[in-house]
Structure 1
Amino acid sequence: LFQVNGHNPGSDGQARESLREDLQKFLGGEVLLHQLDDLTKVNPVTLETVLRCLQARYMADTFYTNAGCTLVALNPFKPVLHLYSPELMREYHAAPQPQKLKPHVFTVGEQTYRNVKSLIEPVNQSIVVSGESGAGKTWTSRCLMKFYAVVATSPASWESHKIAERIEQRILNSNPVMEAFGNACTLRNNNSSRFGKFIQLQLNRTQQMVGAAVQTYLLEKTRVVCQAFSERNFHIFYQICKGASEDERLQWHLPEGAAFSWLPNPEKSLEEDCFEVTREAMLHLGIDTPTQNNIFKVLAGLLHLGNIQFAPSEDEAQPCQPMDDAKCSVRMAASLLGLQEDVLLKTVLIRTIRAGRQQQVFRKPCPRAECDTRRDCLAKLIYARLFDWLVSVINSSICADTNSWTAFIGLLDVYGFESFPDNSLEQLCINYANEKLQLEACGLVETIHISAAGFPIRVSHQNFVERYKLLRRLRPHTSSGPHSPYPAKGLPEWCPHAKEATLEPLLQDILHTLPFLTQTKATPGDLAEAMPTPVHCGRTKVFMTDSMLELLECGRAQVLEQCARCIQSGWRRHRQRKQERQRRAAVLIQAAIRSWLTRKRIQRLHAAATVIKRMWQKWRIRMACLAAEELDDVEEKHLSQAPGSLSTSPLQTRLLEAVIRLWPLGLVLTNTTMGVGSFQRKLVVWACLQLPRGSPSNYTVQIAQQDQAGVTSIRAMPQGSIKFHCKKSPLRYADICPEPSPYSLG
């Protein structure tokens, strides 16, 4: 305290006197205490000044106060209009800096949601709601669930909004059921949660709520069989006794005005004794009416089980027997629990022991006290199993598929710590858990001290290293030179534990980058005056200011941006190279395919040309033979003066060449009756026979009558004239006029 306030007295008396003066001076301005929205502004920071400030704000109907990184909430014990309205939720969600608004539980919820949303890799966030029994922890958790159901939805997607509404409704429907089976009336709170609850709100990659899961622990099942003075059992026992109909009372053996030893203070009426609300909530969770009847039969059986009293046995070898007035309770309890009477009594009255290598079974009758204990243990076990089954049903109704969510926001509704003259094991464990949480997060006054000293942010070494180890990329490579902004070895001088050997080397490397970050963020004019923002390293935590946290986050964002750019450039380069390789491969494949297609086409054309050539040669030879057979009076003289030699006249040689080469064309054109004139026919004949070019008058061409079909014969006269004799030609297409050849008439 004196370190924070700058006091360094010489003696304890002077310190007390100075502190008393500071307290009187601070409390003298009490009218301004309600305006202090952060307890770090309280000076001096003592338990008295903190409580006076909270009291002043409570009287001004201001129920939320900041204490550094902690939010202090006060239970107003009355409805406050518009304190948790949807409009206020959207206002905190849309604010650029929610921490600058008035302190509210929505500020913590929004900051947690943004922590999940701003991180590249999903990091789960949790909110610890701790406090004394009756402080309003369950109500605060319920308000946070409503807040996330409003903000963790997509405004553009109606389907996402409907899913969030459905999840919110099922979560809210689970509250009446869990409160009925897990809450009870205590001396300090009429609706005290007698179990711990961790609610996991599941978010997908777009930070939309897709499901939830509930995990319970440390149920105070001892309350089923034992209640403190002026306290009650769980609410559900009173609900079934007060809210059951006449038929249900007969079915569950709960007559009007019946007394049960495990149901103290039944005359006390509470708002939570609403049986219809619980039944309707169970219907919304998928628990149908027959299943509900079975659940309530088990609860009624537990009440009858508590009325069973045993008479001590005179012989230790004989088991105890239930009293006369308890035999009816035994019969009803066995009927409601679905057991046989002898089985139920044997379970309670006789202990089974297995001993020896052969695992022999021995049955030993229990004394009266042990019978009562075994009866209580049976009741607690049945109730705990029933409560766990209800939690599993709730989870199956609201939990999302494992592959559909990537991160979660946890709400830890801590079991309220209390201190009684006789504390149960569950209460002892939960008090210990609360103390551990308080030590982990520091106490309220210690938190205010640290925040008032200028170090409201505290992060463990492990979390600090995991989050900011990327900052080592920003450190220059030449850091050990004489002009280095920090020494090559050891931590910066402004770190109080610079020579602490317990600090990890990785943490030291991160702290070495802080001066470089400070200089890079400073303007050129202020470069000489730029000083590192203080950071204090404790044994297990790193303490820093808000400006230091902002500087670290900016440096981390810069490194992540550089990494993102590197990844983007590498990916684009890889994609460009891949596209280029694909383009080259496509061109190569296209060239190969086109070459193959061209070769195949040329091969087909070559084969077709060969076939055509062969057929044409066969056809030409055949036509030449037919034309030779049609020639009349053509004498072929074979002169064989020498072996292999042939001598013919020039006219015969010319006629033979004409017949062999172009005889079919000339034959067709000469036989054509239409489309070619007489003069053209003569030209065709001259061209076909390749007669000597001279005056046409030297040759005489005689043509048969037009009504005669075909050519009979051709005679070559000695004087050079030719006579045609027409008859039917054996050629297939001899009577069809072909297209005139452009070069045959040259």
Structure 2
Amino acid sequence: GHNLGSDGQARESLREDLQEFLGGEVLLYQLDDLTKVNPVTLETVLRCLQSRYMADTFYTNAGCTLVALNPFKPVPQLYSPELMREYHAAPQPQKLKPHVFTVGEQTYRNVKSLIEPVNQSIVVSGESGAGKTWTSRCLMNFYAVVAASPTSWESHKIAERIEQRILNSNPVMEAFGNACTLRNNNSSRFGKFIQLQLNRAQQMVGAAVQTYLLEKTRVVCQAFSERNFHIFYQICKGASEDERLQWHLPEGAAFSWLPNPERSLEEDCFEVTREAMLHLGIDTPTQNNIFKVLAGLLHLGNIQFAASEDEAQPCQPMDDAKCSVRTAASLLGLQEDVLLKTVQIRTIRAGRQQQLFRKPCPRAECDTRRDCLAKLIYARLFDWLVSVINSSICADTNSWTTFIGLLDVYGFESFPDNSLEQLCINYANEKLQLEACGLVETIHISAAGFPIRVSHQNFVERYKLLRRLRPCTSSGPHSPYPAKGLPEWCPHAKEATLEPLLQDILHTLPVLTQTKATPGDLAEAMPTPVHCGRTKVFMTDSMLELLECGRDQVLEQCARCIQSGWRRHRQRKQERQRQATILIQAAIRSWLTRKRIQRLHAAATVIKRTWQKWRIRMACLAAEELDDVEEKHLSQAPGSLSTSPLQTRLLEAVIRLWPLGLVLTNTAMGVGNFQRKLVVWACLQLPRGSPSSYTVQTAQQDQAGVTSIRAMPQGSIKFHCKKSPLRYADICPEPSPYSLG
């Protein structure tokens, strides 16, 4: 009874708070964050959103989530390029009015500012018709503006082409994947994940599209007051006369798979789709083949079968459907009989020998096989189109490092009769809502002071390096882990070991606070405790900022340590290379010097030996000539044998010195002819007589030199000038060209 009374008092207090809060309804439109709503209930949240919607304010923050309302009307200047640049240039975009550009800018800065580039993703979820596709399109336009800042003109043209292709993929994907439903005229009938690829300079260089769960059942079956995919209506309304004849689409033709063709929508613009396909690289002949396949599917839907009276005979098409069979086969590029056999007859493999059995299908099964064939063809065409778009807008793997993902999920819808695709769509939305904890739960968590929630695994993987900041005294008997051998995170770690590991990381918060705060405001800088839940860690924005600062500090220390180690290693390596280079240079120079000295020594030896040979040869020639002169002289003075030793020595001196007189008399310049003869007579000590009885033959001025001297018996002297057989023998080592060795 006590508990029931307490619950009743709590409900009464909540009702009073609710009435008090709703009493000031005039100020509800001023609350730009739902965490300011008190009390936080579904009614107060919806009242606040309704008040802001009536005031033409369509974006509201809910902690880390942005709530967007579809205005269902054009709002001028809400998505202008000037507003994009304003949010991009703002120092703190979160302080501006809530907008989808705030989320886009925060995501872009997260990719740009983190030391380790972390890929970011934005989940756009909601009911069908809530504006998810439009929001994704606005985000793509925003990134195309802020993530394109090339420096050169050529790079600017390349970036413009990439952006145009990325933006042109939207009309093509919407034409082939969107349809008109009861809640939305442009409802996405497939889920897509758009990956905007950024390079190291955070410039958008490409994109990639990945699709999920196309509602191909809509090709053959549409609910009441709904339509098929937009592209079927576009080719029927926008084709020219020649194209109508080529695709067999006459005006006013009725197709069973094309309900409500009289409705005109903004999305029924065939020229926009064709122009976008041209920008994506799909040329006109390829487009013509695509539209022929689509027209063939429409004619395939008009084929109706009549029930066969004999089960062994296949069902035949009705009389008014035979033309549709022929047209569908022609447009699809198939033979008419092959198309009919595919729909009418089922092939069965049975037995150990895998024998083929062909069984005619009843009328209902023929219709089912026809529908399955159409769905398969359209699904293959859609997948091929996505692959062509990716090949056109996707960048090279080596040219991008990070990406920003945009997940445009299918809208939640519930009808009296739901298909399997719709069941999967609703289930995926429910899972996303549970993952995001729901809007009201998110507001409750944000209002409690813990708007940031991170899973245990991500928290440990990102902040486990903060344990490096802990002092060495922290490892003791009361510490969950010693200083050495700290455990690494394991995805399958038990909950018993997870809690001490988280506490070990959180023990570094006082150290972070002391390093960040000044001594005067140390008490104010102490953060509020972090709440650790069963699967997630909840924290405030200030706590997240503190952890990120600590993480940056540790990474900076590690980077400095790595840099110092690398520089020390590089300096040592350069010093070793320098010493090795000096040693190699010294060895090479020593070797070259020794080789040069050896060559010079060998050349000097050759020159010395040649010179010595030449001198010896000249001495021999001179000795032979002097011996001849001496013999002649002795033969003419026989009485000289009784001369004294002094006379003998003088005679030897005269014999040895007489070539000098010959040279002096042979010179072209100097004394006259008579004086020259006297000198010769005095030097040679010739017998006394008239000087005119002796003739002296002198060398010409143009002779190279005296090579041999011979004294004639009659007293005349001849100089024989010959060229030496040696290569360098004619060059005398002395400066004078007429000196004798």
**TM-score normalised by length of structure 1:** 0.86
Query: SS at the partner of 1:431?
Result: helix
Name the structure 2 match of 1:3: none
Superposition deviation, residue 509 in structure 1: 3.0
Superposition deviation, residue 641 in structure 1: 27
How much is the aligned-residue C-alpha RMSD, in angstroms? 6.0
Query: Structure 2 CA distance, aligned partners of 1:82 and 1:661?
Result: 126
Query: SS at the partner of 2:471?
Result: coil
Contact 1:470 1:556 in 2 (8 A): yes
Name the structure 1 match of 2:433: 438
Residue 666, structure 1, aligned to residue 661, structure 2: yes
Query: SS at the partner of 2:508?
Result: helix
Superposition deviation, residue 531 in structure 1: 3.6
Name the structure 1 match of 2:234: 239
Superposition deviation, residue 601 in structure 1: 1.3
Query: Structure 1 CA distance, aligned partners of 2:48 and 2:221?
Result: 40
Query: Structure 1 CA distance, aligned partners of 2:386 and 2:343?
Result: 28
Name the CA shift for 1:395/1:485 in 2 (closer, same or farther; >3 Å). Answer: closer
C-alpha offsets along residues 99-143 of structure 1, whole Å, 9 cap, x if unaligned?
Answer: 111111111111111111123333211110001111111111111
Moved more, 574-583 or 649-658: 649-658
Moved more, 675-684 or 80-89: 675-684
Contact 2:705 2:738 in 1 (8 A): no
C-alpha offsets along residues 552-607 of structure 1, whole Å, 9 cap, x if unaligned?
Answer: 01101111111111122112212211221222122112211211111111111111
Query: Structure 2 CA distance, aligned partners of 1:601 and 1:351?
Result: 97
Moved more, 94-103 or 625-634: 625-634
Name the structure 1 match of 2:78: 83
Superposition deviation, residue 739 in structure 1: 6.4
Name the CA shift for 1:422/1:686 in 2 (closer, same or farther; >3 Å). Answer: farther
Name the CA shift for 1:115/1:535 in 2 (closer, same or farther; >3 Å). Answer: same
Contact 1:252 1:300 in 2 (8 A): yes
Name the CA shift for 1:649/1:587 in 2 (closer, same or farther; >3 Å). Answer: farther
Name the structure 1 match of 2:267: 272
Residue 598, structure 1, aligned to residue 583, structure 2: no
Query: Structure 1 CA distance, aligned partners of 2:173 and 2:602?
Result: 91
Query: Structure 2 CA distance, aligned partners of 1:299 and 1:218?
Result: 20
Moved more, 626-635 or 589-598: 626-635
Superposition deviation, residue 27 in structure 1: 1.3
Superposition deviation, residue 518 in structure 1: 2.2
Contact 2:182 2:226 in 1 (8 A): yes
Query: Structure 2 CA distance, aligned partners of 1:511 and 1:401?
Result: 42
Contact 1:219 1:384 in 2 (8 A): yes
Percent identity, aligned pairs only, is 96
Name the CA shift for 1:646/1:610 in 2 (closer, same or farther; >3 Å). Answer: farther
Query: Structure 2 CA distance, aligned partners of 1:521 and 1:694?
Result: 130
Moved more, 511-520 or 376-385: 511-520
Name the CA shift for 1:390/1:677 in 2 (closer, same or farther; >3 Å). Answer: farther
Contact 1:492 1:512 in 2 (8 A): no
Query: Structure 2 CA distance, aligned partners of 1:443 and 1:693?
Result: 151
Name the structure 2 match of 1:470: 465
1:321 to 301, 316, 325: 316
Superposition deviation, residue 255 in structure 1: 1.8
Superposition deviation, residue 528 in structure 1: 6.4
Contact 2:513 2:522 in 1 (8 A): no
Name the CA shift for 1:657/1:278 in 2 (closer, same or farther; >3 Å). Answer: farther
Contact 1:672 1:736 in 2 (8 A): no
2:294 to 299, 303, 307: 299
Residue 547, structure 1, aligned to residue 531, structure 2: no
Contact 1:711 1:728 in 2 (8 A): no
Name the CA shift for 1:697/1:301 in 2 (closer, same or farther; >3 Å). Answer: same
Contact 1:492 1:498 in 2 (8 A): no
Superposition deviation, residue 68 in structure 1: 0.5
Name the CA shift for 1:394/1:631 in 2 (closer, same or farther; >3 Å). Answer: same
Query: SS at the partner of 2:193?
Result: strand
Moved more, 683-692 or 108-117: 683-692
Moved more, 352-361 or 714-723: 714-723
Name the CA shift for 1:360/1:493 in 2 (closer, same or farther; >3 Å). Answer: closer
Contact 1:491 1:512 in 2 (8 A): no
Superposition deviation, residue 305 in structure 1: 1.2
Contact 2:625 2:711 in 1 (8 A): no
Name the CA shift for 1:737/1:622 in 2 (closer, same or farther; >3 Å). Answer: closer
Name the structure 2 match of 1:490: 485
Superposition deviation, residue 154 in structure 1: 2.6
Matches within 5 A, 1:443-522: 443-480=438-475, 501=496, 503=498, 506-522=501-517
Query: Structure 2 CA distance, aligned partners of 1:642 and 1:356?
Result: 149
Query: SS at the partner of 1:714?
Result: strand
Superposition deviation, residue 350 in structure 1: 0.9
Matches within 5 A, 1:176-191: 176-191=171-186
C-alpha offsets along residues 284-324 of structure 1, whole Å, 9 cap, x if unaligned?
Answer: 22222222221111111111111111111122222111122
Moved more, 499-508 or 156-165: 499-508
Contact 1:711 1:729 in 2 (8 A): no
Query: Structure 2 CA distance, aligned partners of 1:170 and 1:101?
Result: 31
Contact 1:492 1:511 in 2 (8 A): no
Query: Structure 1 CA distance, aligned partners of 2:21 and 2:490?
Result: 33
Contact 1:710 1:729 in 2 (8 A): no
Name the CA shift for 1:621/1:104 in 2 (closer, same or farther; >3 Å). Answer: same
Name the structure 2 match of 1:530: 525
Contact 1:485 1:515 in 2 (8 A): no
Name the CA shift for 1:730/1:176 in 2 (closer, same or farther; >3 Å). Answer: closer
Query: Structure 2 CA distance, aligned partners of 1:708 and 1:339?
Result: 112
Contact 1:687 1:745 in 2 (8 A): no
Query: Structure 1 CA distance, aligned partners of 2:38 and 2:643?
Result: 145
Name the CA shift for 1:489/1:8 in 2 (closer, same or farther; >3 Å). Answer: farther
Superposition deviation, residue 723 in structure 1: 14
Contact 2:311 2:360 in 1 (8 A): yes
Query: Structure 1 CA distance, aligned partners of 2:107 and 2:476?
Result: 43
Moved more, 243-252 or 541-550: 243-252
Query: Structure 2 CA distance, aligned partners of 1:683 and 1:51?
Result: 149
Name the CA shift for 1:702/1:517 in 2 (closer, same or farther; >3 Å). Answer: same
Superposition deviation, residue 60 in structure 1: 1.6
Query: SS at the partner of 2:616?
Result: helix
Query: Structure 2 CA distance, aligned partners of 1:620 and 1:383?
Result: 112
Query: Structure 1 CA distance, aligned partners of 2:362 and 2:693?
Result: 159
Contact 1:149 1:164 in 2 (8 A): no
Contact 1:173 1:281 in 2 (8 A): yes
Query: Structure 2 CA distance, aligned partners of 1:68 and 1:190?
Result: 31
Moved more, 334-343 or 369-378: 334-343
Query: SS at the partner of 1:223?
Result: helix
Superposition deviation, residue 7 in structure 1: 16
Moved more, 92-101 or 679-688: 679-688
C-alpha offsets along residues 73-109 of structure 1, whole Å, 9 cap, x if unaligned?
Answer: 1111122222112222122112222111111111111
Name the CA shift for 1:626/1:281 in 2 (closer, same or farther; >3 Å). Answer: same
Name the CA shift for 1:625/1:189 in 2 (closer, same or farther; >3 Å). Answer: same
Query: SS at the partner of 1:627?
Result: helix
Contact 1:631 1:713 in 2 (8 A): no
2:577 to 577, 582, 597: 582
Contact 1:490 1:499 in 2 (8 A): no
Contact 1:495 1:537 in 2 (8 A): no
Name the structure 1 match of 2:34: 39
Contact 1:485 1:516 in 2 (8 A): no
**TM-score normalised by length of structure 2:** 0.86
Query: SS at the partner of 1:219?
Result: coil
Superposition deviation, residue 623 in structure 1: 1.1
C-alpha offsets along residues 692-745 of structure 1, whole Å, 9 cap, x if unaligned?
Answer: 999999999999999999989999999999999999999999999996689999
Query: SS at the partner of 2:358?
Result: strand
Query: SS at the partner of 2:201?
Result: coil
C-alpha offsets along residues 443-487 of structure 1, whole Å, 9 cap, x if unaligned?
Answer: 000000000000000111111122112212111122146999999
Moved more, 195-204 or 692-701: 692-701
Superposition deviation, residue 47 in structure 1: 0.9
Moved more, 549-558 or 620-629: 620-629
Name the CA shift for 1:10/1:620 in 2 (closer, same or farther; >3 Å). Answer: farther
Name the structure 2 match of 1:129: 124
Contact 1:202 1:407 in 2 (8 A): yes
Superposition deviation, residue 264 in structure 1: 0.9
Structure 2, gaps ≥5 residues long:
none
Contact 1:330 1:341 in 2 (8 A): yes
Provide the aligned length of Structure 1 versus Structure 2.
Answer: 741
Superposition deviation, residue 397 in structure 1: 0.9
Superposition deviation, residue 365 in structure 1: 1.1
Name the CA shift for 1:617/1:243 in 2 (closer, same or farther; >3 Å). Answer: same
Query: Structure 1 CA distance, aligned partners of 2:447 and 2:641?
Result: 135
C-alpha offsets along residues 214-254 of structure 1, whole Å, 9 cap, x if unaligned?
Answer: 11111111001111111111111111111122222222222
Name the CA shift for 1:701/1:259 in 2 (closer, same or farther; >3 Å). Answer: closer
